[in-house]
Chain A
Amino acid sequence: GQQVMQIPQYQHVQEGEDFTTYCNSSTTLSNIQWYKQRPGGHPVFLIQLVKSGEVKKQKRLTFQFGEAKKNSSLHITATQTTDVGTYFCAALMEYGNKLVFGAGTILRVKS
């Protein structure tokens, strides 16, 4: 079936270091959403990207959508312990009506 590959699976960083997670699809996407899930919690919406090449920022978080609308990235500058959790990309395929979630990237921050 349709898949969205997300890497890395896991990243452990020192507080203050940067973090990036990548999401890739073999097919063109209609849009891509990013969610954060804290340990023991449920996914919480962060942002949605729709346009080719789109870049959006939320404080220390930068989200990008590729020019071909097949990949996306989330970059966190100067991580803090509050950034801990699993970050999921969720893709809506062209002509699709359901979100396909990546496997997520687990972020651990060492203080």
Chain B
Amino acid sequence: GAGVSQSPRYKVAKRGQDVALRCDPISGHVSLFWYQQALGQGPEFLTYFQNEAQLDKSGLPSDRFFAERPEGSVSTLKIQRTQQEDSAVYLCASSIGVPSYEQYFGPGTRLTVT
């Protein structure tokens, strides 16, 4: 079937606005991951879900970042009161099993905070 999809692909937010980024994983994939990728860097882990349970949120930079996956499929990453340093590409990945399995990445959402 289809791969991982993310929306929107591009988002421009004014500083202080809230944003919500959506991820549709591959159907049947148990694990879902969010990463932040700054220009010229590797993806940095934000948070991990196994089904609807958020098992690790140690990478979330501050309490302005919040992620959910209420029904164990679609996930939303919300950033409140955006700041310029939040500008980055936000990647979502899903995996059929635990984190040791290969991950399938979506195209990412490029967030620019002005």
Contact = CB atoms under 8 A, between A and B. Distances in A.
Do chains A and B stick together as partners? yes
Interface on chain A toward B: helix, strand, loop, or mixed SS?
strand
Nearest to A104: B42
Given A43-B91, A98-B59, A48 B41 contact: no
Nearest to A9: B40
Contact of A33 (B41, B59, B102, B108): B102
A28 B79 CA distance: 34
Contacts of B105: 35, 42-44
Contact of B42 (A44, A92, A101): A101
Interface in B35-83: 35, 40-45, 48, 55-56, 58-59
A42 B106 CA distance: 7
Given A103-B42, A104-B42, A97 B108 contact: no
Interface residue range, chain B: 20 to 34
A9 B33 CA distance: 25
Given A30-B100, A42-B107, A92-B99, A98 B91 contact: no
Contacts of B59: 98
A65 interface: no
B56 A97 contact: yes
Residue among B42, B44, B91, B103 having the largest count of chain A Cβ atoms under 10 Å: B42
A98 B45 contact: yes
A45 B94 CA distance: 12
Given A98-B56, A102-B42, A42 B108 contact: yes
A103 B100 CA distance: 20
Contact of B43 (A45, A96, A101): A101
A101 B43 CA distance: 6
Contacts of B44: 101
Interface of A: 6, 30-31, 33, 35, 41-45, 48, 88, 90, 92, 96-104
Given A88-B43, A96-B99, 6 more contacts: A43-B93, A45-B102, A88-B42, A97-B56, A98-B45, A98-B58
7 contacts: A33-B103, A42-B108, A45-B103, A48-B100, A90-B42, A99-B103, A101-B44
